[in-house]
Chain A
Amino acid sequence: MMAFLTVALAIFHSLAGLAILIVSSWFIAACAIAAPGFNYMLPAVVIRALALLRIGSGYAHMWVGHQHLLGLTANLRLTLFARLQSQKIHSRSEEVEALASHTEAVAALWVGWVSQQASAVMMLLMSCIGLWWLNVPLGGWVWILAVSWLIVMAILCLLGLTYAEEIARWEYAFRQHSEAQLAAAPIWHIKPGASLLDMMPKAIACWRANMLLQKRVLQAQWVFQSVAWLLLLAAFLALIHTHPNPGKAEPLLLIVPMLLLSAGDWLGRSYNTQPALNKAVQGNRKLNTLPSGSLNLLPGPPVEGAVTLCNFRSANLPEQCINAELPVNGIVWVTGPSGAGKSQLLQAIAGVEKSNGERMCANNILPSGLVPGWLYLEQQPMVLAATLKHNLCLGKAFRDTELSTVLIEVGLSHLVELGEWLGPGGRQLSGGERKRLNIARAMLHNGTMWLVDEPFEGLDLNAISSLMTLIESQANCRLIVIASHVIPAGVEPLHHIKV
């Protein structure tokens, strides 16, 4: 509904603009002739009314159009988010970030492209019908103009979409190529200067495709301009050579030449909107081909009992093979050099990553997926852009006193304001604070197993020992698996998995 209102207002806006031009020129011609009985007040009023209509509909179009754009964007985003329930996205965070602009580009199709095209079509259609109905001399030329606009537009859209694909292809190739080159940056220094410059990533092919698209848009405008003016000149020529002397003054004669002369202005802009169509198409493709994977959420109450791993490994690491019997509570250390797959193993146990082999709990094989109550605590924990309370509760209800107690236990007593906003536009937490917040969250949600990834990385010795004390006390009532490349001094690991 909003979409149609947007388009309708855009059409009003442009029709009113064109009508002002035509009525004004006809009006002064009629005034110049001043035929007897000419009612000059009415057209003067019409012109002023059209001016008001144009201004009003222009503002309304922008307002309603933007309202619609925002609503549609929100809708697209919410649908996407709902679709991604119990899924995760296999893209880099920057590409996830880009989804915001993709949804916007898709939503902007109405305001950016449909409105403009509909306006152009309606202006042409109304001109043709009006000219035919009023039997305006030379009206036939406008039909030719309309047909040529349509042809140029069709060609531009067709070409534009192929170029857009080409741009996307070149961009992909460039990203692949430059990724490899930039990854080699630590050894660039051993290359001699000249050959180093030669192998730098070059985006020239991407730009060439981009410039080609810009060129075609300009060319479309240019060609259309020539068609309009050729029609104007041809109409004059035909008039001079075939028409007998008019004899009678005819103000309507002015209308078609005026339309043809200014066609480039009132129709040429419609070609400019082609990139909006491209962006929408590309954005739509990105949204539909979003690389996401399912996180199977296992139902039911938290499972109880000792966990056993049989020939277990992360699906990403074919070399790994873990056999271990984990206790019901206490601490299990996962150690090994970095890159050996400590995090991968933890993620596989938690079910965040795909795994091979068997996870057994109380001698029942668990299907793959996220087990309720098994919490994976990331190395760099996510802190949601939300209030502190929201970050801790995550959809469950806790009393404020509970939250405060937990915050004090993890050593975040300086965060007293539960309603404080964390993230952009609010408080930025340090790496250590994030880790503590993550543990506070896990304590509140009370899982049966915590899988903690590199909790000591980036902490000083005091922080490590206080964190260790906290983890030890929490391990009395649950199993805590810690992946770390160091074991804090004074800790004697009882259970140890080496990867």
Chain B
Amino acid sequence: MNGTQTLTAWFRATVETQGVASRSTLYTLVGIKTCRIVIMIAAFWLFAHMMHTLVVLTVLPTMADWIGLSVALLMAWLLQGEANRRTLEAKTQLLNELESRFAQHLAIGQMAMVGQQSSYYWQSVWLHHLLALANWRYDYQVQQYVAVLAPVIALVGLFMVNWLIALCLLVTLPIVPLFMVIVGKGAAAQQRKHFTALTRLGSLFTDRLKALPLLATYRAHGSELALLKQASDDLNDRTMKVVGVAFLSNTVLDFFSTVAVALVAVFIGFTLLGEFAIGPVLTLHYGLWLLLTAPLLFSELKALGQFYHQKAEAESAQISLANWVAHIPQEAFNAAVNKSIEFEETQYFSLQDEQGRVSAADLHLAAKDKVAITGASGSGKTLLLQALAGQYPAGYALPCKIAMLTQQPVLLPATVRDNLNYQQVYSTSLLWAVLAQVELDEWVRALPKQLDTALHETPAISGGQAQRLALARLLLSDAPVWLLDEPTAHLPAEQHRALSELILRLSAHKAVLWVSHKSLPQDWFTQHWQVINGTVITGKVAGQ
């Protein structure tokens, strides 16, 4: 119960803003479906009337009746088609809007966001979680409203025709949710009782599949198979204890809907026979109509049960999406991704993130400053760079474009030219000039197709060459600030020295923040920042 509320509340607060997933679309769908129910009740009336004429009065129904029934059924049918069409349209639209919001968050968060999870996780967001939200919104939520409205409408009709039956049904109606809550509590108690065992045993199968090489090394496959068999028997026993109770919820609904129809039929029959003389006078017309309309009290609730899995899927989508589908104002987005390439004024800043993972007070950075950043691994150096780049929200980001170099250079599975042209298309002469600057021109000239050689076709590119290629990309970007995150971490000492000197030479006109574990000459730097447990401390002399 609580889950629904938090999911609904979350959806309302996060997604349902700026005209996305508007309530009017939802209400229109509910309206169409409710209209259809009203028309069906009318159609039942005409149908019952025709059957009454035919069976009791033994007269053929008139063409007027037939046309009336045709029109009612046609309208109901058209409304059903329209509801289907609008549902799919609304889902598609919502998906597009969710995707574009999500893409904006990715565009701002970049590595600080993507790096948190595996690519499989992000792919699941696109393929499953966004879809689950759209399905939940326009199937489950719509049906929720319809399941409440349909019994009300049916009851109003029933009261007009036969108050006695309507009253009986009205009295039994609240019992249904009451029983469902009781059963739900029972099932939850069972679930709690077996919770630990279910969590442990539930993941055993995939756990052992992942451990196949280990089991082979220790020759333990056979014994694990026996164990798995025993565990799955135990798991199934316990699961049955939980679901055996949970199924009762469905049975309660089934019980009431079936018994209601059966008893209404028996009651109507006996009244028609004159056995009972309670309540208003009945004819086959009224009787048949009552029999057709009474199930509407439960049928939409049953239909809601068919969408029940959507709720669970949407809840897991809620957990993995969190804030990533919230609206970003256009100005904020533009400011975050389109930064100037000018960096003139010295920046004085402090920063602090919400989780307290990184904080700094009274830092300053001037154009052409060279800052050495040190600290133990895991102390928050990368996070500091990501915060300054504006990827990680910490209350401050550099106001200009930055260029980053990471430990592992990114090589796209494309040609040398495409790798350099990643940001925009440059002239061939410029590319050669930059390659010369990073001392890769000779290597590229020796490649079979020079600039147009696909990187995955060349003989393995060394770590140093790859990093130089990434450096060339940095030079092309025109960013006035370079953020270097241990670019030489994986290089042997000799290459480390050569590449570091090259970086220093090429970054003469840039502001540079340089994270390095390996030693760099102290006199290269104008400032030294040390990161200790997420806090940036300034002023320590480099190279101690």
- Which B residue's beta carbon lies closest to that of A444? B218
B423's partner among A99, A182, A190, A232 (CB-CB below 8 A) is A190
Are the C-beta atoms of B55 and A253 separated by less than 8 Å? yes
Are the C-beta atoms of A59 and B248 separated by less than 8 Å? yes
Binds A, one of B111-119, B151-159, B446-454, B527-535: B111-119
- Which B residue's beta carbon lies closest to that of A294? B216
Compute how far the CA of A67 lies from the CA of B287 in the bound complex, rounded to whole angstroms.
Answer: 41
Encode contact with B along A41-79: 1 for CB under 8 Å, 0 otherwise.
001100110110011001100110011001100100110
Are the C-beta atoms of A384 and B99 separated by less than 8 Å? no
A24's partner among B106, B206, B265 (CB-CB below 8 A) is B265
- Which A residue's beta carbon lies closest to that of B87? A218
Cβ of A305 under 8 Å from chain B: no
Which residues of B sit under 8 angstroms from A319, Cβ to Cβ?
460
Which residues of A sit under 8 angstroms from B47, Cβ to Cβ?
257, 261
Are the C-beta atoms of B107 and A426 separated by less than 8 Å? no
Which residues of B sit under 8 angstroms from A257, Cβ to Cβ?
47, 51
Cβ of B196 under 8 Å from chain A: yes
Compute how far the CA of A80 lies from the CA of B228 in the bound complex, rounded to whole angstroms.
Answer: 12
Are the C-beta atoms of A50 and B210 separated by less than 8 Å? no
Are the C-beta atoms of B291 and A25 separated by less than 8 Å? yes
Which residues of A sit under 8 angstroms from B477, Cβ to Cβ?
190
Encode contact with A along B223-264: 1 for CB under 8 Å, 0 otherwise.
111011100110110011001100110110011001101101
Chain B interface size, as a band, is: 35 or more
Are the C-beta atoms of A186 and B273 separated by less than 8 Å? no
Are the C-beta atoms of B334 and A185 separated by less than 8 Å? no
Binds B, one of A155-163, A208-216, A325-333, A407-415: A208-216
Q: Is the interface of B mostly helix, strand, loop or mixed?
A: helix
Instruction: Please judge, given known A-B contacts A33-B56, A222-B81, A395-B222, whether A193 and B338 are in contact too, CB under 8 Å.
Output: yes
Are the C-beta atoms of B337 and A28 separated by less than 8 Å? no
Cβ of B24 under 8 Å from chain A: no
Compute how far the CA of A423 lies from the CA of B202 in the bound complex, rounded to whole angstroms.
Answer: 12
Which residues of A sit under 8 angstroms from B389, Cβ to Cβ?
189
Instruction: Please judge, given known A-B contacts A247-B58, A394-B223, whether A185 and B272 are in contact too, CB under 8 Å.
Output: no
Instruction: Please judge, given known A-B contacts A182-B114, A229-B77, whether A78 and B225 are in contact too, CB under 8 Å.
Output: yes
Are the C-beta atoms of A382 and B214 separated by less than 8 Å? yes
Are the C-beta atoms of A192 and B111 separated by less than 8 Å? no
Are the C-beta atoms of B268 and A28 separated by less than 8 Å? yes
Within 8 A of A (CB), among B362-396: 389, 391
Encode contact with B along A81-125: 1 for CB under 8 Å, 0 otherwise.
110111111001111110110010000000000000000000000
Cβ of A37 under 8 Å from chain B: no
Which residues of B sit under 8 angstroms from A188, Cβ to Cβ?
107, 110-111
Which residues of B sit under 8 angstroms from A243, Cβ to Cβ?
60
Instruction: Please judge, given known A-B contacts A188-B110, A189-B403, whether A395 and B223 are in contact too, CB under 8 Å.
Output: yes
Binds B, one of A196-204, A306-314, A488-496: A196-204
B208's partner among A17, A67, A384 (CB-CB below 8 A) is A384
Encode contact with B along A320-345: 1 for CB under 8 Å, 0 otherwise.
00000000000000000111000000
Question: A366 CB to closest chain B CB, in angstroms?
Answer: 15
Are the C-beta atoms of B55 and A29 separated by less than 8 Å? yes
From B95, B213, B250, B334, residue with most partner A Cβ within 10 Å: B213
Cβ of A183 under 8 Å from chain B: yes
Cβ of A236 under 8 Å from chain B: yes
Are the C-beta atoms of B199 and A211 separated by less than 8 Å? no
Q: List 14 A-B contacts (CB under 8 A).
A: A23-B265, A25-B265, A40-B275, A44-B269, A58-B254, A66-B247, A88-B216, A189-B111, A190-B479, A197-B103, A214-B88, A254-B288, A319-B460, A395-B222
